[in-house]
């Protein structure tokens, strides 16, 4: 099965369920991995109530289905970088000017699914005073700028290390392209670097297993004990590159951190995303939409790696049976 994200209409709820009702429109991201009856490229999907949020009335299902995985990952990553927000203050334009400038944020791969939404989230949720990113020239650079990027480095023309070398260092760096090692030099002492691809150490894997409530019985015998032991976790982190990145960040200064994040369904974050969407602070960027019958073509298009934003598979139309999945 394929698909993590979903947006659709509730068809049934468990006996005794009081929070959700049949007919409500919800969106979110599944826990764990797509499996039989759990992947979202399907007409009917079983999801945990804890990962859902009510879809804002102004958002269509196609747009809503493109937001959960990338936005959850972006928020988790920026939190790991040390940034904080106040959910009640997401409407930053209505607030008085802050006494100190907001954080400076660098995001690799700004036109990708996580990157293009992370730009918006950094600006509108974490009140970043400056966001730099990387993208190819032309429409992808223009898209990043429209989403709020202050500077876009054309990675075909120059390396981001050279382009940003003379700028003030960054409080937070979110790596979405696996280039975390090259990002360390851009960090302020005391800043945070987080990657969604590089340095998947034992700590991040253990965190994902805990958040998704992955059954221990389904983990290969010996693997859980290996990951949770100090020696096994250390070996895994060294092989994955997490240990080297942690040491490199520490050399930048006291409290400078590295972390790796794996997105997973999270109702708390989904409610925050719903609030951002309802207040027009977060826009779904859809690269292309496919019908369910063309799901294979959609997956191939995504894997080609040239998307600007997200790929959407529309499962059914028209409303009220409309539903969409990634």
Task: Tell me the C-alpha distance between 317 and 69, whole Å.
Answer: 23
What does the pLDDT look like over 281-291, one tens digit per residue? Answer: 999 988 888 98
Domains 5-67+284-325 and 71-199+241-260 share a fold: no
The total of other beta-carbon atoms located within 10 Å of residue 80's CB is 21
Give alpha helix (H) positions in the chain: 61-65, 68-80, 113-124, 139-147, 160-164, 180-183, 202-211, 223-228, 230-240, 242-252, 267-278, 295-303
Ranges 1-5, 24-28, 246-250: which has the least confidence: 1-5
What does the pLDDT look like over 257-313, one tens digit per residue? Answer: 999 999 999 999 999 999 999 999 999 988 888 988 888 998 888 888 777 788 888
Task: Tell me the C-alpha distance between 216 and 70, whole Å.
Answer: 27
Whole-number pLDDT of residue 321: 43
What does the pLDDT look like over 131-140, one tens digit per residue? Answer: 999 999 999 9
Reply yes or no on whether the pLDDT at 200 is more than 80: yes
Map out the domains of the chain as residue ranges.
5-67+284-325, 71-199+241-260
pTM as predicted: 0.88
Output the CATH code of domain 71-199+241-260: 3.40.50.720
Task: Look up the CATH superfamily of 5-67+284-325.
Answer: Medium-chain alcohol dehydrogenases, catalytic domain (3.90.180.10)
Whole-number pLDDT of residue 317: 56
Task: Tell me the C-alpha distance between 293 and 194, whole Å.
Answer: 37
Whole-number pLDDT of residue 8: 93
Task: Tell me the C-alpha distance between 319 and 9, whole Å.
Answer: 9
């Amino acid at each position: 099965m394929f698909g993590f994200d979903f947006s659709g209409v509730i068809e049934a709820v468990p006996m005794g369920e009081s929070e959700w009702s049949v007919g409500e429109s919800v969106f979110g991201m599944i826990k764990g991995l797509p499996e039989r009856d759990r992947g979202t490229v399907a007409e009917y999907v079983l999801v945990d109530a804890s990962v859902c949020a009510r879809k804002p009335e102004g958002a269509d299902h196609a747009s809503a289905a493109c937001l959960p995985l990338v936005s959850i990952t972006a928020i988790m990553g920026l939190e790991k970088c040390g940034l904080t927000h106040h959910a009640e203050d997401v409407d930053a334009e209505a607030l008085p000017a802050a006494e100190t400038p907001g954080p400076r944020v660098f995001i690799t791969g700004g036109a990708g699914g996580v990157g293009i939404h992370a730009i918006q989230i950094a600006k509108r949720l974490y009140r970043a005073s400056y966001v730099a990113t990387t993208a190819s020239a032309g429409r992808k650079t223009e898209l990043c700028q429209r989403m709020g990027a202050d500077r876009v480095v054309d990675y075909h023309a120059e390396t981001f290390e050279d382009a940003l070398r003379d700028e003030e260092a960054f409080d937070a760096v979110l790596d979405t392209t696996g280039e975390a090692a090259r990002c360390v030099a851009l960090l302020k002492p005391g800043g945070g670097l987080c990657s969604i691809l590089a340095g998947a150490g034992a700590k991040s894997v253990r965190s994902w297993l805990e958040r998704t409530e992955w059954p221990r019985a389904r983990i290969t015998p010996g693997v859980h004990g290996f990951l949770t032991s100090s020696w096994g976790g250390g070996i895994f982190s060294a092989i994955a590159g997490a240990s080297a990145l942690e040491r490199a960040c520490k050399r930048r200064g006291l409290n400078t951190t590295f972390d790796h994040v794996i997105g997973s369904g999270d109702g708390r974050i989904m409610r925050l995303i719903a609030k951002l969407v309802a207040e027009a602070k977060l826009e779904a960027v859809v690269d292309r939409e496919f019908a369910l019958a063309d799901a294979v073509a959609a997956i191939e298009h995504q894997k080609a790696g040239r998307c600007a934003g997200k790929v959407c598979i529309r499962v059914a139309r028209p409303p009220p049976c409309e539903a969409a999945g990634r």
